[in-house]
Amino acid sequence: MKAAMEEPLLAATGGAEKNGGEEESLVVSEVKKQLYLAGPLIVGMLLQNVVQMISVMFVGHLGELALSSASMATSFAGVTGFSLLAGMASSLDTLCGQAFGAKQHHMLGVYKQRAMLVLAMVSVPIVAVWAFTSEILLLVGQDPEIAAGAGSYIRWMIPTLFVYGPLQCHVRFLQTQNVVVPVMLSSGVTAANHVLVCWLLMHRLGLGVKGAALANAVSFLTSVSVLAIYVRLSPSCRRTWTGFSDEAFRNVLGFLRLAVPSALMVCMEWWSFELLVLLSGLLRNPKLETAVLSICLNTNSFAFMVPLGLGAAISTRVSNELGAGRPQAARLATRVVMVLAFLVGTSEGLVMVLVRNLWGYAYSNEEEVARAMKAKDRVFSSSLPIDMAT
């Protein structure tokens, strides 16, 4: 009798242990999948971010006014252009991800072409805004010298605008297929090439600050060219890229219904940081405050590439699982990435505090700039764990 009662109990216990082991196995498997995706994406995003960081560093060693003007222009370009294009391109995470999960492979190429077409059209009015950057900055009370320098710098960044959109579309087209190593490698080639490009344009050709702005377009063009060649020639994209199609011109409004809310979500967060640089130009010492705050935000932008990589990975995982009809797997992926993001934020905050006394000198030779940056960077680093986890 006792043995008969123990058998169901042992069976239940064994079943619970088995279920617990299966759950743990699923979590470990999900962590591996996300790290496999996020690792190359994080490196790729860091290297893409390094491009504009290197340009600002080169300009910073030309003087405080040059650094302030370039920083103001970069922030204005982020608010009015790059954030909008990146946000609209992020709709491909959903469209391409679900199409790939549902095995509608040819639609990935159609969505990519449609996004490139829409982003090119959106870039045209942005050019008009950039052409009057100096006047706009003066209108909102910015320092005349900084406004004039920013206007000149951003006009030389206009070619970058028409390269940035296709680059974002190619990156998302590949990442939703779990093809992320080429993104990392192309970004590595671009970052390594960018130092030489900046030196050639700024010093060898004598373009100065304008050369740093133009160098962004040259380097991003290198990156998108590498990815375009890969998409055309690689066997891994044979089913998803079948050539140009007139389907890209259809249902543009349907694409915009998803792209516009996606852009708003990205823009709201991006603007909240970049507007601080614009507002710093209204302070008592605008050249110093703009230079210092831009270094802090540039550094934080660099740090945020890690959670952005995790975000891109989770977007791919969730859209793939939903497209394949597995909502439970999508829910598990979301829980796992929250833990990973918190751990990353805590680690990066610690690193930023440790290097606070040295980091300012990478951007400027001015002792005043480096000293003023230390205090501000501590404030920004303290917000990393909370912001990344959300």
pLDDT tens, position by position, for the chain (390 residues)? Answer: 445 544 544 444 454 444 555 666 777 888 787 777 777 877 777 777 778 778 877 887 777 788 888 878 888 888 888 889 988 998 898 888 888 888 888 899 999 999 999 999 999 999 999 999 999 988 878 888 888 999 999 999 999 999 999 999 999 999 888 888 888 888 888 888 888 999 999 888 888 888 888 999 999 999 899 999 999 998 988 899 988 888 888 888 888 988 888 888 878 777 776 676 667 667 677 767 666 776 777 677 667 777 777 877 787 788 878 877 888 888 888 888 888 888 887 887 787 777 767 666 666 666 666 666 655 555 445 454 444 444
Burial of 279 per CB tally in 10 Å (0-12, 13-18, 19+): middle
Rounded CA gap, 105 and 38, in Å?
Answer: 22
- Token reading at 129: 């805004």
Burial class, 167, CB count within 10 angstroms (exposed 0-12 / middle 13-18 / buried 19+): buried
CA separation for the pair 154, 334 (Å, rounded): 39
Q: Quote the pTM value.
A: 0.73
Tokens of 35: 């790290």
**Which DSSP string corresponds to 219-238?**
HHHHHHHHHHHHHHH-GGGT
| Cβ-based neighbours of 208, under 8 Å, separated by 6 or more | 62, 202
- Token output for 332: 């598990």
- What are the CA-CA distances from residue 194 to residues 104, 189, 218, 275 (Å)? 37, 9, 8, 27
Which tokens in the block code for residue 157? 């960044």
